[in-house]
Every structure is written in structure tokens, then in C-alpha cells.
Amino acid sequence: MPATLLALVFVLMAALAHITSLFILPFGTRDDIFSRLERGAATNSIALIDAEDMKGLPLVDPAVAMAVCHYDLSGGPVRLRVPLSETFLSISLAERHRGIYASVSDRAATGGSLDLVVATQAQLDRITRLDDEEQAIEEIRITARRLTGVAILKVFVDRPSSRSRAQEVLRAARCESEILPD
């Protein structure tokens, strides 16, 4: 009887240690997908991800051209502006340990570009107070819970010959911090 009880306690402790390590592992790694995307991008600027680097990323569709913007809202809101492409275009916003928290496609675009403002709630409240009531708002405003994150820009490549055009769209994209007037 004591040997059976000891074996049962050992199995339960091993299972508990295994489950705990699975939950802790994502918080301790420095080579997760978020770190890989963040590594190649200067703060508040667009970094194009080439085809070779995309092969090393998990679950990435080879039929997309991709760029990232590692944003920091501590200096003010960040504006992402991407010209429309001939094919599907999307922007996904992600935060470390939270994953993707917002995604917008080209169907929400106005005026020939997809225009997004990422801001904290306080910054967004200030932007709203500065709005002109007579003028329509043509930008999409997204509230970020944290000051830093990654914007992932994707343009669908419908045939191999259109990859260069998709990359041109991403090179023309802007990710810039904006200073709010007093």
C-alpha cells in the first residue's frame, strides 16, 4: 500500500510540474514570435520582412508580403498609414503576452489608404476633444492597453510576379509617432 501511494504522489507531482512549466515557458522565452518580429524593426518605423526571414516564422502564409512596426506610445499616439494595394491588405495589432488584440482590413479604408491611429485611452480622449465637430473622421482609432506593441502589415500576393508590387505598398507605408497639440 505505501508503495502505491508513493507512486501516485510521484505521478501527481510530475504532472503538476509539467503543466506548470508549460504555462511558464511563454513568459520566459526570448525567441518567441513577438520577439522575432520586434527584433528587426526600429521603434515607430516600418521594417519589411523578406521572404527568407518569413520562412523562419511559424504559421506564416507564403502568399503574403509582410512588414512590421514596433510601436511605442510613450511619446504620443502612433499613426499607421498604408496605401491601398490591388489585393487584400490587413493590419493586425499585437501586444506581448496578449497576442493580437485588433485587426483591420482594407475594406475599412477611405481616401486611397488605410489610416489607423493607435493610442492609449488617455491619448484617445485627448484626440477626441481636439476633433472638429464639423469634419468627418476618416481614420480608424484603436485603443492599446500597453504602451508598446507590434503592428503586422500584410499584403496578399496573388501570383509570384506581384510580390514586388506588394512590397512596394509596404515600403510606402508609414508608422510615425504624433505629438498632440496642447
DSSP-derived secondary structure for 94-131: EETTTEEEEEEEGGG-BTTEEEEEEE-HHHHHHHHHHS
Q: Does residue 15 surpass a pLDDT of 80?
A: yes
Task: Work out the average pLDDT over 47-76.
Answer: 78
Query: In Å, how far from its chain's centre is CA 162?
Result: 24
DSSP class of residue 47 equals E
Task: Work out the average pLDDT over 125-142.
Answer: 80
Q: In terms of Cα–Cα distance, which of 130, 37, 34 is closest to 76?
A: 130
pLDDT of residue 118: 92
pLDDT band at 166 (very low <50, low <70, confident <90, very high): confident
Q: How far apart are CA 144 and CA 182, in angstroms?
A: 22
List, for residues 135-148, the tens digit of each pLDDT value. 767 788 899 999 99
pLDDT of residue 143: 92
Q: Does residue 37 surpass a pLDDT of 60?
A: no
Answer with the residue of higher pLDDT: 13 or 40. 13
Question: What's this model's pTM, rounded to 2 decimal places?
Answer: 0.74
**Domain spanning 33-177, CATH architecture:** Sandwich (2.60)
